[in-house]
Amino acid sequence: MADLNPNHSSSIYPNTGFCSKTMIYHSLRPHPPLPPETAPLSLSDYVFSHLSTSSAPETAVAFIDATTGRSISFSQLVRFSETLAASLQRRLGLTRGDSALVISPNSLHVPVLYFALFSLGVIVSPSNPASTESEISRQIELCKPVIAFATSSTAHKVPSLKFSTVVLDSPEFHSMMTVETGNLRRVRVSQSDPAMILYSSGTTGRVKGVVLTHRNWISAVAGANVLRQERASPTVTMCTVPYFHVYGCGLCMRAVALGQSVVAIERLNVRSLMSAVQEFRVTHLAVAPPVIVMMANGGDLVDGCDLRSLEAVLCGGAPVSTAVIERFKKRFPNVLVTQAYGLTETTGGISRTVGLEESQRLGASGRLIPYCQAKIVDPDTGIALPPLRTGELWVRGPSIMKGYVGNEEATAEILDSEGWLRTGDICHFDRDGFIYVVDRIKELIKYKGYQVAPAELEHLLHSHPDTVEAAVIPYPDAQAGQVPMAFVVKRPQSTIDESEIMDFIAKQVAPYKKIRRVSFINSIPKNATGKVLRKDLIKLASSRSGCSKL
């Protein structure tokens, strides 16, 4: 592994972190020391060791369920996790290297379960509770679990496993978590051991199992800890993103290490969200892009709520257009919008904005986190590029996944021998080291040989006053190959038509970028983190015949 914290020689520009000799971008953030790689250490032990040195008292609230109002303190979190780990070890015989499938919405039980399994060296493999039985069967093929943890509403989706299924909202699980059955036999967990198998979004292809190690997560938590800012009052973060996703899971781990409270909400709408912010005096709101859009367009659902506690909205999972952020800032002028960029394969964010000054860079996804290196590579020539040049983002560092479970071919396609992960995203760095995400390589539209980025057109569409949401896809065309087609969710009572949408874009872009087809739709299909499901829109486009064409 290359030196991730090089001495900043004359060849590295101090504003960008770009080295003109190697064509590599380096993180300019502080680099605290990581534990020695060979030292046995589980993610649970690492996080709890930080908790013991944080300023949060043991009785402080760690997690709150916004729906029920129930909570657990940090001392209860540690005690419940250790008791559960001992129960799973003694009653069921779970051992290091076993895999556990978890199918549950956000609840107080999930963080306790995660930490218990990590401490045993058991691989945690969480699934979206909305997954179908066939989707769960595919995930079981990948993670090969010996046990499942599900709720009473999701347990029926799980086939028979070696240790059956434990129902999280049952008296049995509550007993396993609270009634001591004997001391836990400490397990020697290597940092290189798999901690989780998470599932790639599958927005463009078949789902893959991403193997993240304890070391991956430890480096991600350590990098977040060094970016924390001193505060006079406690941080209370509302988590609207699922714990089965790298975004929500990472937020959990970092919050516990920092001694910060997390408020989890299961069913999401603007009114319930704003009410929870008011009730629990939330300071930070972790959301996916659709929530930013809902808040910006919230109308009466937002009015009347006391949001004076809210300081910042943290947005990740998918890009947010500049037009949406500007609308949000007009509505909430005292709330920072901080953005981040990352993948499941990078254990979450590899760049983020920190503080007031950095958040003013609209459209930027922040600067590189500690320990991270990056390159911008021309996808046609393979040549690494300097600042302001656009190409595929490659990243390297201790948070990069171990690989795709059971899929060496797919792993080799994305990870090279030097540890560089090809993200598949088209990006560029500016002269101050901020990264801007342009689009996915596979989602670029090829119009008569020209490349058209859907995200660019989507940003313009979001700036139209009658547009609530929009997504752009490639539509097959005999002469051009592909043409840009827009799906638009318009405001209620709007009379805007297809030609007006096309004219609006045509006035702002080169001729080859013009939108040639438009279809109005009630909602844009997205996954749990707000990524547009373009494959669903492409299927929808092929089934519709009434789209306007220019």
For residue 9, what pLDDT is reported?
56
Mean of the pLDDT values across residues 418-441? 92
For residue 220, what pLDDT is reported?
94
| % of residues, the chain, pLDDT over 90 | 60
Answering whether pTM is above 0.75, one says yes
Token duo for residue 326: 């500007």
Q: Kindly give, in sequence order, each residue whose CB lies less than 8 Å from that of residue 307, ignoring residues fewer than 6 positions away.
A: 274, 277, 278, 332, 335
Q: Which string of DSSP letters, residue by residue, matches 230-252?
A: --SS--EEEE-S-TTSHHHHHHH
Q: Could you state, in order of their start, the residue ranges of all structural domains in the chain?
A: 444-549
For residue 289, what pLDDT is reported?
79
Q: Kindly give, in sequence order, each residue whose CB lies less than 8 Å from that of residue 327, ignoring residues fewer than 6 positions away.
A: 296, 297
Residue 403's DSSP bridge partners are 211
Of 289 and 471, more confident: 471
CATH superfamily for 444-549 is ANL, C-terminal domain (3.30.300.30)
Model pLDDT for residues 1-14, shown as the tens digit of each residue: 455 554 445 678 88
**Are the CB atoms for 23 and 385 separated by under 8 Å?**
yes
Model pLDDT for residues 338-361, shown as the tens digit of each residue: 989 999 999 999 999 988 888 888
Of 226 and 109, more confident: 109
pLDDT of residue 451 exceeding 80: no
Q: How far apart are CA 247 and CA 348, in angstroms?
A: 6
For residue 300, what pLDDT is reported?
64
pLDDT of residue 109 exceeding 70: yes
Model pLDDT for residues 131-162, shown as the tens digit of each residue: 888 889 989 999 999 999 999 999 999 998 99
Q: How far apart are CA 340 and CA 346, in angstroms?
A: 12
Q: How far apart are CA 198 and CA 201, in angstroms?
A: 9
**Are the CB atoms for 347 and 246 separated by under 8 Å?**
yes
Q: Kindly give, in sequence order, each residue whose CB lies less than 8 Å from that of residue 502, ignoring residues fewer than 6 positions away.
A: 514, 515, 516, 518, 548, 550
Q: Is the dihedral of CA 411, 416, 419, 420 positive or negative?
A: negative
Longest dimension (CA), the chain: 73
